[in-house]
Structure 1
């Protein structure tokens, strides 16, 4: 897909300070996108800003914990006041939760997993929807997981939260079907990230693709020419499923 039309567009990327989020932010910046980078740690955001400048496009840094619901709600207003619209949203922020039998999962961990993986993305959609509708080609990509289908034992909080995310995004896609907004899901599979290392500590990371390997596929889903909506793109299969 031709990514030239990405130049000059405005993107919000959550979980931008490491892993896939970092790689997507720099990939979009490489194509001339102004990235509003959302992350929890100021130092990490400043390091990302250096990386964005290195590829030629300065970003806007937003220190924000996605569990801060009111903070997420304010994001849309702040973007509206400065730019009046948004063209791209990449909902990447996520947590693994607790790898444990469901009966042993601690209530705060369950709640945090749902708060970050589901509720924060609902709030993101809610606050940015009016701005996406003002774009000539609003594009949303939310990072999901194959855990939705596999439903492996002990992965309950993560699998449930990602299944709910899938339902959320596909519902939004149907609600915006007659607009210029498109919303899709991206399933990266096993990628060399800190989250993957925590989930599967015995795995050889050198056998896995890197975040930089998957970032171009996410950038392609953000391009104005992407007309699919309500679908899931599998990086492993290199296709929509």
Structure 2
């Protein structure tokens, strides 16, 4: 296969799915997500436009599953050109004194531990010439965002460290900040918000990919 290979973790919905559709004309998409039905719908949309996918209905918090996935990528393609990490666990908003221990543990596992594990597994597939992209949400420190904000900020701190470590040797690591979009994650944080005022997901995916080509 001469087509470029893109791995998208968190591809079943939202920005991850929009990025998959935007990349499909130039990349074979390896779509990772927990919701089988949503992945199949993404596959239908991409195939309808002449693209191709490999669906991986897996949970990024399962290290054995991610190890199996990356080994499969190596065995089939040998390497990756692009990794987009959009998977996120969005804990409910709550005041600091009421942070739930289970929500905090899930957030640490999903946003920090899983990211570190994936960097470990994906880095060899990207080699020196591949490209990894992470998506910031500068909401840490705002009221009621203690659990989500702290673990999202830690995820980006991991990415920034990797970015600094690979600046001269590769792979290329980028961190971008999407505009507010009408995603399911945002709806959990802002119920009742006027979604018409938010940025279109597909337009935002196109904008972000354009910035990454510079």
Normalising by the residue count of structure 2, what TM-score does the alignment of the two structures yield?
A: 0.94
Q: Does 1:91 align with 2:81?
A: no
In 1, Cα distance between equivalents of 2:88 and 2:97: 22
Show CA shifts across 1:42-76 (max 9, x none). Answer: 11111111111122111000010122122122222
Q: Does 1:143 align with 2:135?
A: yes
Residue 125 of structure 2: which of 115, 120, 131 is its match? Answer: 131
**Displacement of 1:222:** 5.0
Residue 214 of structure 1: which of 195, 199, 204 is its match? Answer: 204
Shift of the 26–45 alpha-carbon distance from structure 1 to 2, 3 Å rule, reads same
Contact 1:24 1:215 in 2 (8 A): yes
**Runs of 4+ with deviation above 4 angstroms:** none
Runs of at least 5 residues in structure 1 that lack an aligned partner in the other structure = 1-6, 227-241
In 2, Cα distance between equivalents of 1:119 and 1:74: 17
Helix, strand or coil for the counterpart of 2:157? helix
Contact 1:94 1:117 in 2 (8 A): yes
In 1, Cα distance between equivalents of 2:121 and 2:134: 15
**Displacement of 1:9:** 1.1
Contact 2:179 2:199 in 1 (8 A): no
Helix, strand or coil for the counterpart of 1:188? coil
Helix, strand or coil for the counterpart of 2:24? helix
Residue 55 of structure 2: which of 48, 51, 61 is its match? Answer: 61
Helix, strand or coil for the counterpart of 1:172? helix
Contact 1:146 1:189 in 2 (8 A): no
Helix, strand or coil for the counterpart of 1:147? coil
Q: Does 1:47 align with 2:41?
A: yes
Runs of at least 5 residues in structure 2 that lack an aligned partner in the other structure = none
In 1, Cα distance between equivalents of 2:56 and 2:155: 23
CA RMSD of aligned residues (A): 1.5
Residue 118 of structure 1: which of 96, 112, 130 is its match? Answer: 112
Contact 1:13 1:38 in 2 (8 A): yes
Residue 205 of structure 1: which of 161, 185, 195 is its match? Answer: 195
- Give the structure 1 partner of residue 10 of structure 2: 15
In 2, Cα distance between equivalents of 1:213 and 1:12: 20
**Displacement of 1:41:** 1.4
Normalising by the residue count of structure 1, what TM-score does the alignment of the two structures yield?
A: 0.84
Corresponding residue pairs, total: 213
Contact 2:130 2:170 in 1 (8 A): yes
**Displacement of 1:221:** 5.1
